A and B are shown apart, each in its own frame.
Chain A
Amino acid sequence: MNRPGLHPRDGAARADWVLPELGFQEETERLRAAIADWAMREADAELRDAIDWQFLSGSKYFRPLTVFSCARAMTGGAVPEDAIHGAMALELFHNMTLVVDDILDQSDERRGKATMHVKFGSLKALMTSGYLVAECYRIVAHDPGLVALISELMSRLAVAECAQWRLRAQPLGVEDWRLLAQEDTGSMFEVAACLGDRSEDLRRFGQLLGILYHACDDVSDVRGTEELGEGGDDDIRDGILTLPAAIAIRRPEVAEMFAAPDPGNYDALATAFRQALPEAEQELDAIAASAMAEAERFARDPRPLHDLVRRTRALGAR
């Protein structure tokens, strides 16, 4: 069930280099202030400790940064208040997915500290995740277009998570991986792009960025096993179709191991996935190039989007 952005090592460590290079410090501060204000004034006191725990540290705000970049690319100027508002709703929604994922993955840590269910228990974590969705809808209730976007996201994520789990340990191809990535991670970035640019012209750009983000996480997980001697093991154990896995399992003997993973063949699978990295890198380059072209085609000023793609691509190169 691990998704890009949901892995423990994906948190604070990357925030310090993603944020400054993309700019938007002022917008990010406005977003932080809006979330803090909501947590203090509007969130129910019963859940405030859990909400504070989740929100008041460590987020790298990658999805809000996508909203801001898309807004600036289309207006060529300041990020409007609507986009900050949309980014806040999306951040609440995203954190709901983190809480639920941590429960399902039985993760103990996120962003260098205990996960919400470890700190406050499963009941409170589950109820808080529901509360976050409700608050997300309340925040966007004035705009039926935003409500439709959040509903679309909720539906697609639910279907994608179930599909990904159902299709585990099956010998599928790169295009199948891509469909899963598109629905699982791409959908949230699609919505982020639409929150920044309500014309929907950047929808496909958002989708490509999300797929790239997902792919880079897949690749860096495998590279992590190479460099650190750990990481990516959960995906191997669960038979999750990552990009390197989709390439590696074209070989029948690897597909056989992938379909029936056991601790005895984890090392062999990790080795096969590492051997697939050069082709996976080519795939990352192709996705990044498509995203760049899409930005060029629709944005008034594509530079913020190009920066975003470059920084995302760099995730897979580290």
Chain B
Amino acid sequence: MDELIALYLTTLRDIIAALPASEERLKADERWGLADERRILFLLAQAQAAWLTSGLRYWRQMAEILATQGIGLGDAARDDAAWEQDRLMRHLLLVDKARAALREVADLSLSEAKALRRKLLEIEGHLRAAEAGPDGAEPRRYGKVKP
């Protein structure tokens, strides 16, 4: 599973790395007036790659957490004769491991969401800039005037 994810991530990275090459084509298209549309599609492709990568990274790290914390939880919860002697110790271990697992998952979720948000806002910023006219004019505002 890990190898599969690693392979997929590598492929994605290669695709992302190759994307700037299409910038060359954008220049060629400028004279046909197609550059803006292509640029927007290019940015959307980047966004898609960003959330796909983020999702895969998230689940891979989640799997790591489950592997490490889950083993601890399993050990703590197992019901055999040796543990029967130390019910209190087992209880404390279980609580500790469960708290650790929840904290790890919460921290990971927050971090990954923050990283993805930053990346997507970066792309959104480029899109906003693409609203400007070809001569660099201010983007036109179509919104309703404030009452």
Interface residue ranges, A against B (CB under 8 Å): 171, 173-175, 178, 201, 204, 250-252, 286, 289-290, 293-294, 297-298
Contact = CB atoms under 8 A, between A and B. Distances in A.
Contact of B115 (A251, A286, A290, A298): A298
A239 B107 CA distance: 29
Contact of B100 (A175, A252, A297, A298): A175
Contact of A251 (B86, B103, B111): B86
The 7 A-B pairs at the shortest CB distance, nearest first, are namely: A173-B96, A175-B99, A250-B92, A297-B115, A250-B89, A174-B96, A252-B88
Nearest to A173: B96
Interface residues of B, number: 21
A250 B103 contact: no
Interface in B81-136: 86, 88-89, 92-93, 95-96, 99-100, 103-104, 107, 111-112, 114-115, 118
Contact of B111 (A173, A178, A297): A297
Given A175-B100, A204-B107, A204-B111, A293 B92 contact: no
9 contacts: A173-B95, A173-B96, A174-B96, A204-B111, A250-B93, A289-B64, A297-B57, A297-B111, A297-B115
Contacts of B88: 252
Contact of A174 (B57, B100, B114): B100
Contacts, number: 37
Given A201-B118, A252-B86, A294-B111, A286 B68 contact: yes
A124 to B, nearest CB: 43
B46 interface: no
Given A175-B99, A294-B111, 11 more contacts: A173-B92, A173-B95, A174-B100, A175-B96, A175-B100, A175-B103, A251-B86, A252-B86, A290-B107, A293-B61, A297-B112
A169 B33 CA distance: 74
Interface in B13-61: 57, 61
Given A204-B107, A297-B111, A173 B118 contact: no
A43 to B, nearest CB: 40
A288 B63 CA distance: 17
B59 to A, nearest CB: 13
A297 B113 CA distance: 11
Interface centre among B86, B100, B104 (most CB of A within 10 A): B100
Contacts of B64: 289
B85 to A, nearest CB: 11
A297 B61 CA distance: 12
Contacts of B112: 297
Contacts of B93: 250
A251 B96 contact: no
A251 B88 CA distance: 8
Contacts of A297: 57, 111-112, 115
Contacts of A204: 107, 111
Nearest to A177: B96
Contact of B89 (A175, A201, A252): A252
Interface centre among B61, B96, B118 (most CB of A within 10 A): B96
A207 to B, nearest CB: 9
A201 B111 CA distance: 9
Contacts of A173: 92, 95-96, 99
Given A204-B107, A293-B61, A297-B112, A251 B89 contact: yes
A290 B62 CA distance: 12
A276 to B, nearest CB: 12
Interface centre among A174, A204, A250, A293 (most CB of B within 10 A): A250
A180 to B, nearest CB: 14
Nearest to A289: B64
